[in-house]
Amino acid sequence: MNKADKKVITVAAGIVLNERHQLLLVRKKNTACFMQVGGKIEPNELPERTILREIEEEIGCTAKVQQYLGRFETKTANEPDHLLVSYVYHVTLDQLPEVHAEIAELKWIDLDDAETSLAPLTKEVVIPWCKKHLTSMA
């Protein structure tokens, strides 16, 4: 199947880091991969609004966008034959996250975690950005 035949899922995804430089990931119910908090962009909704709405729905927090990283294309974690288009933001939370909505589990991982099953966006875009970002902050 070529790229033109694939169905596209467009999402906003949030990168959340804690003071120990760990990355917040969530796993949705009935799935195996951990991924960024975030979700599908509604019609006529700006991606920056989507990420704030999804953070509130999925982990019960209000958030502040720190930086827009860009638009990325990867495989999806759970939908075969789909292309994932992600608008990725670095965000900070105003409180500790909790499981809400369709989220089954959340956890903080170290950036070199080799045990956790990660979504393609997390492996290919988010973790490399985090490592580069944290190195430049040091």
- How far from chain centre, in Å, is Cα 105? 14
CA distances from 60 to 7, 37, 54, 72, 110 (A): 30, 11, 9, 26, 23
Predicted local confidence at residue 5, as pLDDT: 67
**Residue-wise pLDDT tens digits, 4-40:** 667 999 999 999 999 999 999 999 999 999 999 999 9
Answer whether 100's CB lies under 8 Å from 57's CB: yes
In eight-state DSSP terms, residue 41 is P
Give the total residue count for the chain.
138
Tokens for 48? 């920056």
- pTM here is 0.93
- Cα–Cα distances (Å) from 38 to 1, 4, 15, 49, 107, in that order, read 27, 25, 9, 11, 15
Cβ contact 49:41 at 8 Å: no
In angstroms and rounded to an integer, the radius of gyration of the C-alpha atoms of the chain is: 14
Choose among 39, 51, 47: nearest CA to 9: 39
Q: What domains appear along the chain, each with residue ranges and CATH number?
A: 3-137 (3.90.79.10)
pLDDT value at residue 6: 76
Under DSSP, the state recorded for 5 is G
pLDDT digits (tens, 9 = 90+) for 73-88: 999 998 888 999 999 9
Please give the Cα distance from 21 to 31 (Å, whole number): 25
